[in-house]
Structure 1
Amino acid sequence: MKRHTHAACTSVMVGKKASIDGSNYIARNEDNFVANWPKKFYVQKAVQNRHETYVSPYNKLTVELPENGYTTSPDANQDEGYYEEDGINEKNVGMSATESVTANEKVLAYDPLIENGVAEDSITTLVLPYINSAREGVEYLGNLIAKYGSTESNGVEFFDKDDIWYMEIATGHHWVAIRIPDDSYAVAANQIGIEKIDFSDPENYMWSEGIQEFVAKNNLNPDFDSWNFRHIFGTDTKKDRHYNTPRVWYGQKMLNPSIEQNPESSDLPFLRKPEKKISVEDIQAILASHYNETKFDPLGSGSEEDKKRYRAICLSRTMNSHILQMRETDNGNQAIEWKGLGMPCFSAYVPFFTNANAIDESYSFVPEKMNLDSAYWLYTALEFVVESHYQEFVEPNLDYQKELAQWARQKIAEVDKESQNLSGADLTDYLTDQNKVIAKHFNEATKAHLADLATQGTELSKLTFKMDPNL
């Protein structure tokens, strides 16, 4: 079966009672198998009376297209597919798709993946415009899988102001979903993570039709007295222990530092209650992390063996990091999408209001070669320069990120205040203008930071020579 290049991500979900400001959050690093894979970010506007058919460039899946509007982050090069990945629609329902996972050979033997079924390249395009709630997102995608089958094993995040749902699609037709408790968070990293399913509680769990019968008929449950989705459908391999579970371990270590766990454990819980309330900066720190302050940091001082032992969350092939935030307010600007293009280790997260007609042209302008008027290329240039002299540039880069994080909070508060008496088209136009103001500020600050680093870097060349005065 054809395999696409988008197959490595890390996801974070935070319930509103676990967050510091009462927001629901879903977030993910979209990773690739190559370091340079440009992304766009814009508003897909609603259209009227459209009657078009979607045909996947990836596997030729054919489905009717919708009319509604939403924010979207597609690939710049769409030869392999759209890969819209994440967004929030006009109903203030958001999703992030997908967290690539792997099912075991036993379950796939009885329900193989479908070559021309629903795949990551299509999921956001075919689901987000249609849905009115997070729960409806699970139902809608579940119906598509029942009709067309699934090409891949995937995890998909959905949220609205009330709920967060995480759905794991394991085989060609079977999946489960769990409502993330309001007081909890979850970190997912390319491995089936959902554990016990309570089939007597459909308010908090959902599942594909016939999944219990499928498991029983084919003798797939290894447990004596429980029904654990991870145990039945998931994997537990050496790759998991070096590529996947350490990322979950580190995310949980950041939010529950007092709990000692083994980074290679196969029993890390999917859900946890944090030790303190979680801020958007905490989520950013997880997505930007590379085992910081541990011996496993590839940029740290550990042994070469330890530095290469585990796959980090932030990688050179992270091309689109996003945090979708749904705030408690009901004044029309409660949805914010924080966008970090390139490696979030070195980039700033830029907040955009999604009740808007546009983001900014610098986010949709992605030429084939580097151009600093393109947001994608601007942040890609920054990551290259910072990592090239990491020890010298890490502190000024952290200062740059901190200053922009502070500015972002101040700007959001200002916009909230100024927009209190706006509604409808007036509010949408105002938020659209503010998106452009925000993008301009971040672009200019990043260009200035890049110029400062390049200037300092001229003194760091190894091609230098000082005459010994004693000669």
Structure 2
Amino acid sequence: MQNKDACTSIMVGKKASLDGANYIARNEDRVKAIEPKRFLVKPAVKGRHETHVSPYNKVTVALPEEGMRYTSTPTLDQTAGPNEEDGINEANVAASFTESVYANDRVLAYDPYVKNGLAEDSLCTLVLPYIHSAREGVEYTGKLIAELGSAEGNGMQFADADDIWYMEVVTGHQWVAVRIPDDCYAVTPNQVAIEDIDFDDPDNYMWADGIQEFVEEHQLNPDHDRWDFRHIFGTSTQKDRHYNTPRTWFAQRYLSPNASLGQRPEDSEMPFIRKAEFKIANEDIQYVLKSHFNETPYDPMGDAPERKTYRAISLSRTAQSHILQVRDLNKYKTSIHWIELGVPAFNPYVPFFANANDTDESYRNVPEKMNLESAFWLNEALAEVVESHYQEFMEKDEDYKKELNEWAHRKIAQVDKEAASLEGQALTDYLTGQNHEIASHYNKRTKALFFELLTEGCELSKMSFKMDPNL
């Protein structure tokens, strides 16, 4: 299994969201505090005759001759595979790969992982350019798993303007997927999350061929009267209750304040899917992904004795965070790939129109060492400065993020209006130019705050000393 850490995923259906878009979102968390990421547009291909060989585990796949253009956030260091992670393709389908999930030893005994099977490093590369709907994303991935097996447990999100599907591959070949209801949201934190499967409802559930027979043959179902995927394949351990379930607790506490009353951070049976109690805005998704148990005793930025009890959602080792806003193309001309680089708690989400030719140089070119012309390094630097004097700098940082969100809403509305009369290549060229303007605005504002706080920090040194004027 790949040496990666963990993530937190959120899905919001179109009737649960404030603007009527489908949303899938995730913090990509890694073992190292610094793992430079790029934001790219991968071009469409035709007439290709190539084979993908993963540098990570040597899984080998003949690539289709044709593939669509798509956005992605690959890792700078490609020695462990491309790790493109997430994006939106030109068919207006979004995907996020992956939420690491862990199966129990009983099921793995009968269907272990396949060493040279599909792993997170290759999934985006091998799936996103070739799917035309969220449902097809599940079907396409399922066929690859049947052919190649899986090297690890992974949860995957797929979205188009109509549907959101969440798929969990938990053993070498066993998986299920569920359609997220339009008026609901779902949160998952590195645990097998999907619960009861209705095998009589293929419109809303999908599964690996033979999974029922597999469970029955090996006597794996602990329940008398239900087929709960989480109970059969998942885990419920001390690690889950300190590393995973508290993240679900906090997200549902915010998004379902009434329904979640009585839930505790270590509850093992919190529902995966909940109906929204209010229309969820982009900023609400941001809040959850940025959160660190804010306003609770478990906040690691606080001083309560419990502050280190649970693993928070936003971490210093988040490589990048994304919110994929899939909009109806009959009403709007493109969906939006929101990117956050640095630490989510301290840095803004930047909106980029997915129908673009390329990305800004500050996102495309990432040097190995810190350079403030790089968006990745600029945001990492800002996060380090804000955290170093959190109490003193928190308010200015919050004002900066709020200001940029306000600007983003105005900018998107302006671009939508201008784009309404454009089609084809002219539209793509226009949106590409607007993406460059957006990157420039965010970089300029981030540099201004960074240098302002860096200067103020000089006055906060523990080495300062005020001389008594009478001496």
1:332–1:423 contact (8 Å) kept in structure 2: no
Instruction: Give the AA of the match of 1:302.
Output: A
Task: Tell me which residue corresponds to 2:45.
Answer: 47
Task: Tell me which residue corresponds to 1:280.
Answer: 282
**Equivalent residues in 2 for 1:17-56, closer than 5 Å:** 17-56=15-54
2:291 counterpart of 1:289? yes
Supply the distance in 2 between the matched residues of 1:140 and 1:211 (Cα, whole angstroms): 17
Classify the secondary structure of the residue corresponding to 1:185. strand
Task: Tell me which residue corresponds to 1:59.
Answer: 57
1:16 to 14, 17, 22: 14
Once the two structures are superposed, what CA deviation does each residue of 1:106-137 show, in whole Å capped at 9, x if it has no partner?
A: 00000000000000001110000110100000
Once the two structures are superposed, what CA deviation does each residue of 1:385-412 show, in whole Å capped at 9, x if it has no partner?
A: 0000001000000000000000000000
Q: How many residues align?
A: 467
Classify the secondary structure of the residue corresponding to 1:415. helix
Task: Tell me which residue corresponds to 1:431.
Answer: 431
Q: What residue ranges of structure 1 are gaps of 5+ in the alignment?
A: none
Task: Tell me which residue corresponds to 1:252.
Answer: 252
2:10–2:186 contact (8 Å) kept in structure 1: yes
Once the two structures are superposed, what CA deviation does each residue of 1:268-296 show, in whole Å capped at 9, x if it has no partner?
A: 00000121100000000000000000000
The alignment's C-alpha RMSD in Å is 1.0
Supply the distance in 2 between the matched residues of 1:198 and 1:331 (Cα, whole angstroms): 34
**1:50 to partner: Cα distance:** 1.5
Supply the distance in 1 between the matched residues of 2:330 and 2:446 (Cα, whole angstroms): 33
2:57–2:115 contact (8 Å) kept in structure 1: yes
Task: Tell me which residue corresponds to 1:418.
Answer: 418
Supply the distance in 2 between the matched residues of 1:112 and 1:311 (Cα, whole angstroms): 28
**1:469 to partner: Cα distance:** 4.5
**1:332 to partner: Cα distance:** 5.8
Supply the distance in 1 between the matched residues of 2:49 and 2:361 (Cα, whole angstroms): 28
Once the two structures are superposed, what CA deviation does each residue of 1:142-182 show, in whole Å capped at 9, x if it has no partner?
A: 00000000000110000000000000001100000000000
Supply the distance in 2 between the matched residues of 1:272 and 1:211 (Cα, whole angstroms): 26
Task: Tell me which residue corresponds to 1:205.
Answer: 205
Classify the secondary structure of the residue corresponding to 1:239. helix
Supply the distance in 2 between the matched residues of 1:323 and 1:231 (Cα, whole angstroms): 29
Supply the distance in 2 between the matched residues of 1:424 and 1:330 (Cα, whole angstroms): 14
Task: Tell me which residue corresponds to 1:4.
Answer: 2
Instruction: Give the AA of the match of 1:11.
Output: S
Task: Tell me which residue corresponds to 1:145.
Answer: 145
2:333–2:420 contact (8 Å) kept in structure 1: no
Task: Tell me which residue corresponds to 2:268.
Answer: 266
Supply the distance in 2 between the matched residues of 1:217 and 1:318 (Cα, whole angstroms): 41
Identical residues among aligned pairs (%): 63
Task: Tell me which residue corresponds to 1:446.
Answer: 446
Supply the distance in 1 between the matched residues of 2:145 and 2:417 (Cα, whole angstroms): 44
Supply the distance in 2 between the matched residues of 1:326 and 1:111 (Cα, whole angstroms): 35
Classify the secondary structure of the residue corresponding to 1:79. helix
Supply the distance in 1 between the matched residues of 2:155 and 2:5 (Cα, whole angstroms): 11
Q: What residue ranges of structure 2 are gaps of 5+ in the alignment?
A: none
Instruction: Give the AA of the match of 2:340.
Output: G
**1:327 to partner: Cα distance:** 1.6
- Provide closer, same or farther for how the CA distance between residues 7 and 466 of structure 1 changes in structure 2, counting only shifts above 3 A: closer
Supply the distance in 2 between the matched residues of 1:377 and 1:393 (Cα, whole angstroms): 19
Task: Tell me which residue corresponds to 1:122.
Answer: 122
Task: Tell me which residue corresponds to 1:100.
Answer: 100
Supply the distance in 2 between the matched residues of 1:417 and 1:248 (Cα, whole angstroms): 38
Task: Tell me which residue corresponds to 2:220.
Answer: 220
Supply the distance in 2 between the matched residues of 1:165 and 1:6 (Cα, whole angstroms): 24
**Equivalent residues in 2 for 1:184-203, closer than 5 Å:** 184-203=184-203
Task: Tell me which residue corresponds to 2:403.
Answer: 403
Supply the distance in 2 between the matched residues of 1:371 and 1:328 (Cα, whole angstroms): 38
Task: Tell me which residue corresponds to 2:181.
Answer: 181
Task: Tell me which residue corresponds to 1:346.
Answer: 346
**1:6 to partner: Cα distance:** 2.5
**1:301 to partner: Cα distance:** 3.0
Supply the distance in 2 between the matched residues of 1:350 and 1:328 (Cα, whole angstroms): 20
Once the two structures are superposed, what CA deviation does each residue of 1:233-263 show, in whole Å capped at 9, x if it has no partner?
A: 0000000000000001101011012332111
Supply the distance in 2 between the matched residues of 1:447 and 1:425 (Cα, whole angstroms): 33
2:315 counterpart of 1:315? yes
Task: Tell me which residue corresponds to 1:110.
Answer: 110
TM-score relative to the length of structure 1: 0.98
